[in-house]
Amino acid sequence: MLPENETTAEARRHMAVCNSCRYCESYCAVFPAMTMRREFSTGDLTHLANLCHGCKGCYHACQYAPPHEFGINLPVTFAEIRAQSYAHYAWPRAMGTLFERNGTVVTLASALGVTLVLLLTMALVDPSILYTAQRGEGAFFRVIPMWLMVTLAGSTFGYAIIAMLIGGIRYWREVGGGAPAPGPVVDTAVDILTLRNLGGGGHGCNDVDDSFSSQKRWMHQAAFYGFMLCFAATTSGAFYHHFLGLRSPHPFFSLPVQLGTWGGVLLCLGTAGLIRLKIITDPVPVAKRLVGGEYAMLSLLFLVSATGLLLLVVRHTGAMGVMLALHLGLVLALFVALPYSKMVHGVYRGLALWRHAREKRSSGMVAAE
């Protein structure tokens, strides 16, 4: 269980005030979940913190927010608890310390990933191939052998999935999610896919200041769906290769290229938009200690998608070899950093939303809605 500390004590004080006020009850899933409780264990606080989407609507609506003596600032307090929960449930446990210096970790992983792939490419590939235009099926694999590409990408991605899966299991068991019964899967999926909790109860959230906006919701959806389209592009490319006998690079209007192109565009737009919002937003309801890591991860996602698009542009030129190595190096860095960056919020928030949907159904709240 997440250990007791000053942050959990502050969150418990906040919940006592909010549970008496309940002005923000319709804003997001946090407050209905709060009203189901009279006392708040560290497991309850961890659950509520991971339900929070950081829209800052409750802060700007709160009569007890700073400079009031109560100093209620849930976005900051819950962001700190989320970060602590990521570190606490990380696998291996010793790697949880990486969350303390997440920005540095992501930057180092990016530099090392790019350097490793560039050095391996230059060591294994004849310069006459690396720096000349490669055309036709299998052009990518003439630059970076398929065995090397699959080994590096497969091992790092597999490790990231295993690490996040174990972290999610630890979270579910310790926070008190109960037996993993099917539950209201549809409700949970709708919450995740639509980001309903970034809607501020229908009027938008306070993405920049006390005015209402849906910018963060749109940008987050663009990044999420862009990422999923890129993953689908990789999956369909593997299907083409292993089952249809068609090796990359594929024609522009083929399924893998179209999925990757639109996914890359959406991911670039989404991450750039989220970076912009972080720059111009009101800094008071923001956990400043965590901002560096968030900038680093968004920048890495942007660079992965941007280099993927650039690779599409230069794939029939002599620049393709270096661009392919650069893109693969950044992808490897992303996979290595995934379990120890804010990207794990997708796992914990998804589990929190699933638990909340089950609690609503068991309490009869769904019928009341």
Rounded CA gap, 239 and 245, in Å? 9
Q: Same domain, yes or no, for 73 and 139?
A: no
Q: Which pLDDT value is given to residue 277?
A: 96
Rounded CA gap, 8 and 287, in Å? 15
pTM value surpassing 0.75:
yes
Residue 25 — pLDDT band, cuts 50, 70, 90?
Answer: confident
Rounded CA gap, 205 and 216, in Å? 8
Looking at residue 205, the DSSP 8-state letter turns out to be: B
Q: Which pLDDT value is given to residue 180?
A: 55
Query: Domain range holding 263?
Result: 93-361
Residue 114 has pLDDT above 70, yes or no: yes
Q: Same domain, yes or no, for 216 and 323?
A: yes
Residue 368 — pLDDT band, cuts 50, 70, 90?
Answer: very low
Contact criterion met (CB below 8 Å) for 35 and 360: no
Rounded CA gap, 349 and 346, in Å? 5
Q: pLDDT digits over 51-61, tens only? A: 999 999 999 99
Q: Same domain, yes or no, for 102 and 236?
A: yes
What's the mean pLDDT in 330-355? Answer: 93
Residue 366 lies in a domain: no
Rounded CA gap, 174 and 18, in Å? 25
Residue 369 lies in a domain: no
Q: To which H or E segment does residue 173 belong?
A: helix 146-175
Among 226, 228, 253, 255, smallest CA distance to 240 is for 255
Residue 367 — pLDDT band, cuts 50, 70, 90?
Answer: very low
Q: To which H or E segment does residue 50 belong?
A: helix 42-51
Q: Same domain, yes or no, for 98 and 229?
A: yes
Q: Same domain, yes or no, for 168 and 306?
A: yes
Q: Same domain, yes or no, for 64 and 130?
A: no
Residue 63 lies in a domain: yes
Residue 368 lies in a domain: no
Q: pLDDT digits over 115-145, tens only? A: 888 888 888 888 888 888 988 888 999 998 8
Q: pLDDT digits over 227-256, tens only? A: 999 999 999 999 999 999 999 899 999 999
Please identify, among 88, 106, 137, the residue that sits at the C-terminal boundary of a domain: 88
Q: Same domain, yes or no, for 74 and 218?
A: no
What's the mean pLDDT in 32-51? Answer: 94
What's the mean pLDDT in 215-232? Answer: 97
Q: Same domain, yes or no, for 277 and 231?
A: yes
Residue 322 lies in a domain: yes
Is the model more confident about 331 or about 125?
331
Residue 367 lies in a domain: no
Q: Same domain, yes or no, for 53 and 109?
A: no
Among 104, 47, 106, smallest CA distance to 81 is for 47
Q: Same domain, yes or no, for 297 and 339?
A: yes
Q: Same domain, yes or no, for 231 and 119?
A: yes
Please identify, among 88, 115, 148, the residue that sits at the C-terminal boundary of a domain: 88
Q: Which pLDDT value is given to residue 285?
A: 95
Tally the domains of the chain.
2
CA 46 to chain centre: 18
Residue 10 — pLDDT band, cuts 50, 70, 90?
Answer: very high
Q: pLDDT digits over 158-197, tens only? A: 999 999 999 999 999 988 766 655 668 888 999 999 999 9
Q: Same domain, yes or no, for 184 and 290?
A: yes
Please identify, among 69, 88, 107, the residue that sits at the C-terminal boundary of a domain: 88
Query: To the nearest whole number, what is the mean pLDDT of the chain?
Result: 91
Residue 140 lies in a domain: yes
Residue 119 lies in a domain: yes
